[in-house]
Amino acid sequence: MLPKIVASKKQSTSLSKRQIIVSIKNTEKAVRQLEGQNILTFIIDNKAKKENMKNILIKEFKAEPIKITIEINRQGKKIARVKLKDVDAARNLAMKFGIV
């Protein structure tokens, strides 16, 4: 008889704001996306997930994200592109982080 396989429980990653957001990208492309499409580009911790990013944006920055896209670049850094619902929220966050 084969042993019964038990599904493992998901471990919740409870990371703080400082642990999730490493920095914000301040490149020409990131600024263009901010101005044209309300998209902010963050460099985040490799353990962070979309849910963590969404919770931080809602609780800490009072910003409602429409879409969060996460990718890992060639250097192994995790990049999160966050499309925000409100134009003013995107600009306020950019000013808070020192982009604009």
Task: Please write the tens of the pLDDT for every residue from 7-21.
Answer: 555 555 566 767 899
Burial 30-52 (b: 16+ CB within 10 A, else e): beebbeeebbbbbebbeebbeeb
Banded model confidence at residue 97, pLDDT cuts 50, 70, 90: confident
Q: What is the DSSP letter of 90?
A: H
Whole-angstrom Cα distance, residue 45 to residue 48? 5
Cβ neighbours around 5 below 10 Å, total: 6
Sorted by where each begins, the domain ranges of the chain are 18-97
- Residue-wise pLDDT for 55-93, tens only, equals 999 999 899 999 999 999 999 999 999 999 888 888 888
CATH number of 18-97: 3.30.70.330
Q: What is the reported pTM?
A: 0.78
- Residue-wise pLDDT for 13-49, tens only, equals 566 767 899 999 999 999 999 999 999 999 999 999 9
Residue among 27, 26, 39, 99 at smallest CA distance from 70: 39
